[in-house]
Structure 1
Amino acid sequence: MMVICPRDAKGQRTAIASNRDLCMSLLYQIHGRACDTRPDSAPLPVIADKVFVSNLQLQAIIERIQALPMGQHVGHFLHYLQVEAGLATNTVLGYGRDLLGMLQFCDARSVKAVSQIDPVLIQAYMQHLAEGSRADTSIKRFLAAVRMFLRYCKLRGLIQDDLAMILDGPRIWQRLPTVCSKSQVCQLLDSPSPEDPFYLRDKAILELLYATGLRASELAGLSIQDLNLQIGYLRCIGKGGRERVIPVGQKAIDAVWQYLADLRPKLVGPASGHHLFLSRTGKPLSRIEVWRLVRKYALRAGMPRGLSTHTLRHCFATHLLAGGADLRSVQEMLGHVSINTTQIYTHVDHQRLREIHKRYHPRP
């Protein structure tokens, strides 16, 4: 794992840490606490373990990249994305995998320097991906990674021309999200049984996901302090570290209150801290655990196998728009930077489109 130490008095980075102890030390410094103390309210060892484990795959990719020509520049670029740009580890890992494939392609063709990369080479690699049955979406994602890397190289003076401006990728159909009907969502929300040992927690999670449109990672990251159930709002940190405040409906409020009063106190352990949703061992629920929980209840309710936490997010947006909510408000609640991302949900509401057609077409 790569953990970057703070800058010294001259503005230089100190040594890169590669062990859990230094990671722990830095986390304590970030949280403004002495390194040799551990308040019960902040289970930083758990945070350190998650940071350590989540970076192992990225470190492995970086090591493979740095063994190739141009690998040092790509390694610095990934480091920039993670530390300076603050992108999520999974996002940086995706960029790393895409750029690793490109470096291997370049190495096989004796392209050893960034200055040798040109649009012809990139188009050749895209053709190589297409011949390997890679989906257009995968090729477009690779192109996004290459564009960002080339912009980075231009800013660093490694190349003269802004090649990112002239690269063009495949045009792809925009895939409409899967959305369940309101009755199907109600069926899912009612699928936890009161006899289940974690009924109150699971019921609160399902209700909160549908009531707020949170991503699985956002829900897993909630702390008790993020909730203001008296007035019906919660605060979450979304992609890119952007904070937003979302209203919470009464059914979700009641479910969370009951979980906080009757079950969470029984789950609290040394690693719990202020995290809202806890596992049977008292540790904070992870994004994957939230996803598995939703899948379990979806199967129990007889829902489609592809249903996930993000399906509830799609349902949240589509049902709001179908009920008359304006697009800007839905965009704000979803945490979308661009309204174009939210716009897709207007195409999912087939009933609304039929009503518009019937109302305005001269021959309905």
Structure 2
Amino acid sequence: MAVTLDLQDHPARWIAAEWGRHLAQDRRRSAHTVRAYVATAHRLVAFLGQYHGKAVDAVLLAEVGPADLRAYLAARRAEGLANASAARELSAVRGFLKHVAGEAPRMKGPRVKRSVPRPVSPDDAVALAEDVADAASQPWIAARDLAVLLLLYGSGLRVGEAMALTGAVLPLGETIRVTGKRAKTRIVPLLPPVRAAIEDYLAKSPWPVERDGALFRGARGGPLSADIVRRAVRIARAGLGLGDRTTPHALRHSFATHLLGRGADLRALQELLGHASLSSTQIYTSVDAAHLMDVYRNAHPRA
């Protein structure tokens, strides 16, 4: 007869909570990442309780081996978890176990085919920004939306990074300091057209920008939500006949791809994008190669 144990019965639930605090305070992971990783730790604890038929504590966690992890992943796959999600889950589980015992079982994760980002052409990027602005209800909101999207395209920011900018970046110069993942800061270029768009927005905005306040404001004066930007892009891309992959984040991909196509060094591009690992930047070499093949097929008489 199977033993049914509620998560509250496991001492390890406190270990998972402590790991969450470690991720947030010591590793400076985002709130979203912390929630996802802690939820994964709780799922592992609940599974191990059923699998072994007893309460899970630090001793049991330290004894977890590859067979336990294979069984856990099999159970998660039976629930419909795809390869990419299973690989991320295994990474979180290994991090949790390493935190508990100082090391984690060695095992290969599911094979994941790495998708190539879909960049937006320069003309489409500008058209998208202008179309979003044209649909705005007020002139200052139009100026704001144009400034945000040109910033994503012209400086390679994540939409969350743009939303997190404060009045501390003023007055604007040729560069801007951005805080990215894990609270890491980097310096990115601020091209003249992008700087002009932001300054136009600031001149038209009815809301004063304070040093510690949000640079981009919502219609009621609060910080602008990334969801507002995403929704505006969804509406605009339909009108322009652009695909579903044309998102605010795709503008960041375009920034990277276009720089690489103009001869940018991978290490320099890594710094501009705020990637922790060069492997995350190297994927854009595939994007650029794909672009060159498209040009070849369209232009070469024997292609």
2:165 alignment counterpart: 222
Q: Secondary structure at the match of 2:134?
A: coil
Contact 2:62–2:101 at 8 Å: present in 1 too?
Answer: no
The one-letter code of the counterpart of 1:207 is: L
Compute the displacement of 1:100 (Å): 2.0
Partner Cα distance (2:10, 2:170) in 1? 48
Residues 125 and 207 of structure 1: is their aligned pair in 2 closer, same or farther, counting only changes over 3 Å?
A: same
Identical pairs, percent: 31
Question: 1:267 Cα deviation (Å)?
Answer: 2.8
The residue number in structure 2 matching 1:188 is 128
1:257 equivalenced with 2:199 (yes/no): yes
Measure how far apart 1:167 and its partner are.
2.3
Shift of 1:224: 2.3
CA drift of 1:76 comes to 1.4
Q: Distance in 2 between matches of 1:258 and 1:252?
A: 10
The answer on 1:275 being equivalent to 2:214 is yes
1:163 aligned to 92, 98, 104, which one? 104
Q: Does 1:85 align with 2:27?
A: yes
Question: 1:128, 1:195 → 2: CA distance?
Answer: 48
The equivalences for 1:70-81 within 5 A come to 70-81=12-23
- Specify the code of the residue in structure 2 equivalent to 1:312: L
**CA positional deviation for 1:168:** 1.8
In the alignment, which residue of structure 2 is the partner of 1:49? none
Contact 1:267-1:279 within 8 A present in 2 as well: no
- One-letter amino acid matched to 1:175: S
Following superposition, the deviation at residue 217 of structure 1 comes to: 1.1
The residue that corresponds to 1:34 in the other structure is none
Q: CA deviation at 1:255?
A: 0.7
Quick one: distance in 2 between partners of 1:355 and 1:306? 21
Stretch of structure 1 that moved more, 334-343 or 71-80 = 71-80
Deviations 1:126-149 (A, max 9, x none): 112222221011111111111111
SS of residue matched to 2:81: coil
Shift of 1:303: 2.0
Separation in 2, partners of 1:222, 1:65? 40
TM-score where L is the length of structure 1: 0.72
Q: Which amino acid aligns with 1:261?
A: A
Partner SS for 2:116: coil
**Alpha-carbon shift at residue 85 of structure 1 (Å):** 2.0
Which position in structure 1 is the counterpart of 2:256? 317
The letter for the 2-side match of 1:153 is V
Distance in structure 1 (CA, Å) of the matches to 2:126 and 2:250: 13
Q: Distance in 2 between matches of 1:181 and 1:67?
A: 55
For structure 2, which runs of at least 5 residues remain unmatched after alignment? 1-5
Q: 2:86 aligns with which of 134, 139, 149?
A: 139
Q: Secondary structure at the match of 1:279?
A: coil
SS of 2:188's partner is strand
Structure-2 change in CA distance of 1:339 and 1:200 (3 Å): same
Matches within 5 A, 1:33-72: 66-72=8-14
Structure 1: runs of 5 or more not aligned: 1-63, 156-161, 358-362
What is the Cα deviation at residue 67 of structure 1? 4.9
Relative contact order, CA 8 A, sep 6+: which one is greater? 2
Cα distance in 1 for residues equivalent to 2:7 and 2:217: 37
Distance 2:146 2:93 in 1: 43
In 2, are the aligned partners of 1:227 and 1:234 still within 8 Å (CA)?
no
- Which amino acid in structure 2 is aligned with residue 73 of structure 1? I
TM-score, normalized by length of structure 2? Answer: 0.85
Aligned 1:104-183 pairs, distance under 5 A: 104-109=46-51, 110-111=53-54, 112=56, 113-155=60-102, 162-164=103-105, 166-183=106-123
Alignment partners' CA distance in 1, 2:257 and 2:239: 24
